[in-house]
Each structure stands twice: as structure tokens, then as C-alpha cells.
Homo-oligomer: A and B are copies of this chain.
Amino acid sequence: MSRRHRIAVIEGDGIGREVIPAARTVLDRAASACGFTLDWRDFDWSCETWKATGRMMPEDGIARLADHDAIFLGAVGYPGVPDHISLWGLLIPIRREFDQYVNLRPVRLLPGVPCPLANKKPGDIDFWVVRENVEGEYSQIGGRMFAGTEREFVEQTAIFTRAGTDRILRYAFDLARRLGRPHVTSATKSNGIFHSMPFWDERFAAIGAEYPEIRADQYHIDILAARFVMSPERFDVVVGSNLFGDILSDLGPGVTGTIAVAPSANLNPEKKFPSMFEPVHGSAPDIFGQRIANPVGAIWAGAMMLDHLGEAEAAALVLRAIETALGDPASPRTPDLGGTAKMDDLAAAITAAV
């Protein structure tokens, strides 16, 4: 009997509804080429759901997703629905309940993608950002006092546990070892953030000591952000807290011109729970309906999903197809890449290249 992977699909809002179906076609092609089946199950949860029911997903949403091998997410967010509602009602609980404590994103200069930096060519920039994905600065601890008065203030508390910090740092060092690129850079701010960041540095030193063959260095987040622009060639694996990782894993794709094409994997590395794969871009309501969104972010996220499911060959096939299509000057190009093609034409070119 052939291998079968059960995938929960949440297209979500806006262009999520366009790019996910496009990506499914590409992934199905790779699956049939490699002799396995992707068993897609749709979950129609979005800001529409919230408007209709007051919830982003049903009360037993997490339980319904649990029985899958992976989750494939488009994007959530819609005008009129406050961001912190749409996200704390769906994306963030999924990351937490399924203990997807690693957010992994490639930063890679691709052929055919215009790069905002001077004098860079494909291959020059190629590293990974490893972000802590379930604790740290993303916390509901805190609150507001004296609301509506001149004395009003809010408190916002970040929590860094030793267990949570150590496991993300170990993931980063293990990744560097696995990639054969023995160099891990930590994002810190221990000169300004008084309690959490000196602790982060301590744990980075302690875990780093378990990997003596790996070079470990650290920069404060302010100068690190500047270095992403000034010398992005220098990095191999960069590890940061939930907030710092969030910033760096958008800045990296910004530097390589790939915001629209970058993928994001939310991993539970132990595979105790399903992991989730999504493009970095948002729901982009301004272009929704025109079918001009770039499908590469979703397709590449799909490739990372195949890899996580143990289908390394299919994953590599999809990644090569992306590079072939983008690298071919005759391929259709969506507006973000300077062309006038529709999403469907670019997706078809990638499918053909698989």
C-alpha cells in the first residue's frame, strides 16, 4: 500500500485562499511522482468565521486538527478584525497547543528574484533563522491599570524558561551540525533588556559548550539587524527569541527580496504533535481576488512540509522546480517579481518543472 499523509488545510483569509490551492496542485504532482498520497482535509476557518460566530475556530478546533500529520496554513487577517484577535484566536494557539516550539525560515538569495542589496548574486546569501515559537515576549501575562485615565499604564511580561530556552538553542546547534555549517549566531540585547537577555546569554554559553566544534557568536539585536544588511554572507544559523526571531525572519527575506516567496515552518521536532507550514506573507486583502499573488511562498512551505513528513526526495523536487522556474527568464513572473503574469501561470510553470 502506498504512503499516505493526512494534511489539515486552513486556507484562511485573502490570498491564503488563492495560494494554497495553487500549492496543492504542485505538491500533488510531486507526491504522485514519488509514489505517495497527500490526503487533504479542509478546515474553513478564517476571519469570516469570527464575524459569524465570534470565534476564529470552533471550541474543539485544536482537537479536530490533532489527528493529522501536518497543517498547511495560508494566512489569517482581515480589515475590521483586530490583528490580536485573529492571531490569538488561531495561529498562536495552534503553535502553542501543538508545542511547535521551533519556527524555521530560510534566508536565501534566489535566481530571478530582484535583491535590494548591491552586488549580490544567488548563492551569496544562504542561511537559516531559528526562532523560539511558543514563549518569550509573546505572552498574555500583564494587563492594564487606571484604564481611560491620565494615570493609565500597561504591563507586558515576557517569560523565558530554562527548558524552553535550552531546547531552541539545542535545535539551532543540531541544525548547524546537520547542515555541516558549524556556526551559530545568537540574537541578544543583554545590554538593555535587564533580566531575560542576560539569562538567554547564559544558556547560549551553556548549550554552546555542548557543541565544542561549532563556532558560537552573539550580537545585540540592533547591530545584528544592521549586519543582516551590511554583511549577510556571514551567517549560517541565527537563533533568536520569539520577538527577535520574528523580526529577523522578516528582515532576512526583505534583504534577499523574497518576502513574497519565503516559507515558514512551525515545528514540533519530536513529532508528538502536527507541525504547521505557512508562507511568510500575510492575507494581503489589497490584492485578493486579482489572482496576482506570488504562490512560491506557499509552495516552498509545502516543500518544507514534505521534508518534515519524511519525503525528502519530493521536497527536493519541488525546491528544484521553484528554482528552475524562477531562474528561467522566459518563465511567467507575478507583479512582485516585476512581471505581469497571474499566479496561476507561475504555479503552472512550477508544476511543469516538477
A contact residues vs B (CB 8 Å cutoff): 77, 82-84, 87-88, 92, 115-119, 137-140, 142-144, 149-163, 189-199, 220-223, 225-230, 242-243, 246-247, 249-251, 253-255, 257, 259
Q: Is the CB of A115 within 8 A of B116?
A: no
With a cutoff of 8 Å between Cβ atoms, the chain B residues found around residue A156 in the complex are 157-158, 160, 193-197
With a cutoff of 8 Å between Cβ atoms, the chain B residues found around residue A92 in the complex are 192
Q: Is the CB of A259 within 8 A of B226?
A: yes
With a cutoff of 8 Å between Cβ atoms, the chain B residues found around residue A199 in the complex are 144, 154
Q: 9 A-B Cβ contacts within 8 A?
A: A82-B198, A138-B192, A142-B194, A149-B162, A153-B161, A155-B157, A223-B250, A225-B251, A230-B259
A143 to B, closest residue via Cβ: B195
Inter-chain CA distance A250–B222, complex, in Å, is 5
Q: Is the CB of B259 within 8 A of A195?
A: no
Given contacts A139-B194, A247-B247, 18 further A-B contacts (CB under 8 A): A82-B198, A84-B190, A87-B191, A117-B118, A140-B194, A140-B195, A142-B157, A143-B195, A153-B159, A154-B159, A154-B160, A154-B196, A156-B158, A156-B196, A189-B246, A225-B250, A226-B255, A229-B229
With a cutoff of 8 Å between Cβ atoms, the chain B residues found around residue A257 in the complex are 230
Inter-chain CA distance A193–B184, complex, in Å, is 27
Inter-chain CA distance A287–B193, complex, in Å, is 27
Inter-chain CA distance A117–B163, complex, in Å, is 40
B117, B160, B225: the one within 8 Å of A117 (CB) = B117
Q: Is the CB of B195 within 8 A of A155?
A: yes
With a cutoff of 8 Å between Cβ atoms, the chain B residues found around residue A118 in the complex are 115-119
Q: Known interface pairs A153-B162, A162-B153. Does A190 touch B83 (Cβ–Cβ under 8 Å)?
A: yes
Each complex incorporates copies of this chain amounting to 2
Q: Is the CB of A192 within 8 A of B222?
A: no
With a cutoff of 8 Å between Cβ atoms, the chain B residues found around residue A196 in the complex are 142, 154-156
Inter-chain CA distance A250–B157, complex, in Å, is 25
Q: Is the CB of B243 within 8 A of A225?
A: no
Kindly provide the distance from the CB of A50 to the nearest chain B CB, expressed in whole angstroms: 14
Q: Known interface pairs A230-B116, A251-B226. Does A243 touch B193 (Cβ–Cβ under 8 Å)?
A: yes
Inter-chain CA distance A155–B197, complex, in Å, is 10
Inter-chain CA distance A137–B247, complex, in Å, is 16
Kindly provide the distance from the CB of A170 to the nearest chain B CB, expressed in whole angstroms: 14
With a cutoff of 8 Å between Cβ atoms, the chain B residues found around residue A197 in the complex are 84, 156
Kindly provide the distance from the CB of A257 to the nearest chain B CB, expressed in whole angstroms: 8
Q: Known interface pairs A84-B190, A150-B163, A156-B160. Does A144 touch B195 (Cβ–Cβ under 8 Å)?
A: yes
Kindly provide the distance from the CB of A332 to the nearest chain B CB, expressed in whole angstroms: 23
